[in-house]
Amino acid sequence: MTTSRLEVDLRSVDHNVAVIRRVIGQSRTPTGRPVGLCAVLKQDGYGLGAARLAKRLAAGDGLGARTSGGPGGAGGGVEMFAVYTPDEARQLIEANITAPILVLMPMRDITRVDPLYRAAVAGRLAVTIHDIDQLAQLADLSTRLGVRLNAHVFVDTGLGRGGMLPEQGAEAVKRIVTSGGAPSTRSGAAGRISLAGVMTHFASPCSDAAFTGEQARTFREFLLGVKDLLPTGAAAPQIHAANTCATFRSDKYHGTMVRVGQSLYGYGLDGVSDVDCGSMQFGMLGAGGAGTPGQPDVLQPAVRWVSSVVHVKEIPEGHPVGYGSTWRAPRRPGGAATRIALIPVGYADGYPRSIGSGGEGGWVGFTGKRWETKGETAGPSAQVADIVGSIHAAAQFHAPVVGRVSMDQITVDVTDVPANVCGVGMEVEVAGRVSGARNFLPAVAASAGTITHELLCRVSPRVERVYKYPAAATSLRAEPPPPSPPGKVTVHTTGADDRRTVPAAG
């Protein structure tokens, strides 16, 4: 039996895609077509399950569906997916994802038996060009395999990580356009590389507007310098630079496509206050809930991490808790004991060990609902219906993590939480969805000195991923029945009674 799980609300993902669509919908490409949307699913979709999320995003079967056509075709989902490693691309291909997939890592080889080869033949694989040597290798490869490779030239405008400086980037564009990527001095057949995109990546779009603007100017100057080389019309390459922060900060960064990751799940705008996308106002969902009139452009956090109380005990004043005895029970009025609750989540699950070492930092939430175990869902009951109906209700009580985080467990001071709320078998929100709450997922990450997406990527594969799909479009509270046995995930496709089970990611 699983001791904790990550719950992903697919309706919130739909909503967030719709918000992003409205942001980029105010921009137009030079051809007058809508700006495209590339969903970044690195590291198994930020730890949430890339294959399942890609199916949802590719189908566009919710609020995020494209309705007006565009680069990806009428009625479809996102125009492209981006992953970092070739293996991440293979996983999407083997999951029957047919949308184009951009591999961001500098890859240099493919074999005929590789799923990537099949995708390349179908025109659904794109490679990122980081240097001239890699381009030459891929040109040789394309000729040898007899397959055309779509390439995105990566220009380093100030991140200093991957990609080429503008001068080398211009040479790469020239080689691709004039000789399919092969060196102009080489005798023999030209390469079979097509220029599908030109891209850059911002270093600090959330925190440094000035430097982001400087990078954008460098990129525009680069594009002007190679303008006469770039194909036009239907063959025009995608121009893309904006991640989540840049997408929401200003439409001048949109290019012909944006690349977003964490905003798909409702995160990534914590540090952005100077938004300049027309008259639209953006932010993150607060305690008021979803679907608030007049607030259609608020991202909805889609993820919560839940577990249960497995043990409660009372300890006297001065009694230590955890390895190293870094926290001791304080003196309480009338000599009252301190109540400690044990939660079966630890650093082996990805909960940061840096939380709670000195009695400060992390908090968990209590919803007052019982933990959904497999046994409780064997048959219908009023109790189960209540659990199912309010699974996303905000935690009413919060309590601090005390003592050091252990491999498989954390200890929580629940002295100030009503006993009937935090008893054995009660649900615990290790990380919640309500912005401003002490256990809000970004707040948990901040208390560990890290960022939201690193915390999500840390969560162990042994933590079950469950995909929720409320029947009501505007509600975060209506929930389907509980998930399937460990090692599987329950996918709710149309409502509370329509679900299917697929292998868990990871």
Q: Please state, for a pLDDT cut of 90, what percent of the chain lies above it.
A: 71
Q: What is the pLDDT of residues 176-216, one digit of tens each?
A: 999 887 776 554 456 799 999 999 999 999 999 999 999 99
Q: Which amino acid is at 217?
A: R
Q: Identify which of 146, 229, 150 has the alpha carbon closest to the alpha carbon of residue 189.
A: 146
CA distances from 456 to 83, 352, 460 (A): 16, 11, 9
Residues pairing with 11 in the sheet: none
How much is the pTM? 0.83
Q: What is the pLDDT of residue 481?
A: 31
- Measured in degrees and rounded to the nearest 5, phi and psi for residue 4 equal -160, 165
**Residues linked to residue 284 through DSSP beta bridges, in sequence order:** 299
Is 93 within 8 Å of 116 (Cβ atoms)?
Answer: yes
Low-confidence ranges of the chain (pLDDT < 50): 63-76, 187-188, 278-282, 284-296, 358-359, 374-391, 471-506
Q: Is 112 exposed, middle or buried (0-12, 13-18, 19+ CB in 10 A)?
A: exposed
Nearest to 157 by CA among 99, 205, 102: 205
pLDDT of residue 396: 86
Q: CB neighbours of 472 closer than 8 A, spacing ≥ 6? A: 478
Q: Which residues contact 138 (CB under 8 A, 6 or more apart)?
A: 108, 127, 129, 149, 151, 181, 191, 193
Domains annotated on the chain, with CATH: 11-266 (3.20.20.10), 303-460 (2.40.37.10)
SS3 149: strand
* pLDDT given at position 293: 31
- Any residues with CB less than 8 A from the CB of 383 and at least 6 apart, and which? 370, 376
pLDDT at residue 271 in the model: 59
**Which one-letter DSSP state was computed for residue 22?**
H
What pLDDT is attached to residue 485?
A: 38
Closest CA to 374 of 461, 502, 488, 482: 482
Reading the block at residue 8, the tokens are 């992903």
Per the structure block, which two tokens stand in for 192? 């079979």
pLDDT tens digits, 344-365: 999 999 999 999 764 457 999 9
